[in-house]
Amino acid sequence: MIRDSVSNTIQNRLSDPRIMGLISVTEVSISPDTKNATVYLSIFGVDEKAGKLTFAAIQHAAGPIQAALGRDLTGRVCPHLRFELDTKMKKTLQTLDLIDRARREYEQPFEEGAEQNFELDDSDEDEPQSP
C-alpha cells in the first residue's frame, strides 16, 4: 500500500519540473514500530546529473508525499518517509549490458571469420607449411 501510494504521488501528483525520467519505487522497508519507512527509488532514462536533480526534488517534496500517504492510509499510523536511491537495479542492468557486450564480442569473430578460420588446406600434408 505504501509503495503504491508513494509511486502514484510521485508520478501523478507532483509537478516539479526537476523530476525527470522514469521513477520506480523498488522497495519500502518499514521499521518494526511502523513509525519510519525507507522508500527505495530507481531513476531511469536520464543522465546522472538529471537523476541527482530528480532525487533531490523528490526529497524536497517529502512533505506533500507524506501528506498524500496519510490520506491514502486512512485509520492507520502514517510512517515518516525517508528516501534512498536504489542502485541494485542500475547495477543489475549494467551487469547485463556487460554480459551482452561480451557475448557479442565473443560471437562476432566466429561470425565474421568462420570461413577463413576453418578453411581446409588442400596441400600435401607431408610438405612443410610456409608461414
CB 85 within 8 A of CB 59: no
Q: Which residues contact 128 (CB under 8 A, 6 or more apart)?
A: none
Instruction: Quote the number of domains for the chain.
Output: 2
Q: Considering the entire predicted model, what is its pTM?
A: 0.68
Range of the structural domain that residue 112 is part of:
88-116
**Does residue 35 form part of some domain?**
yes
**Does residue 56 form part of some domain?**
yes
Return averaged pLDDT per consecutive 10 residues of the chain, 131 residues in all.
Answer: 93 92 93 94 91 95 94 84 88 89 81 53 55 52
**Does residue 129 form part of some domain?**
no
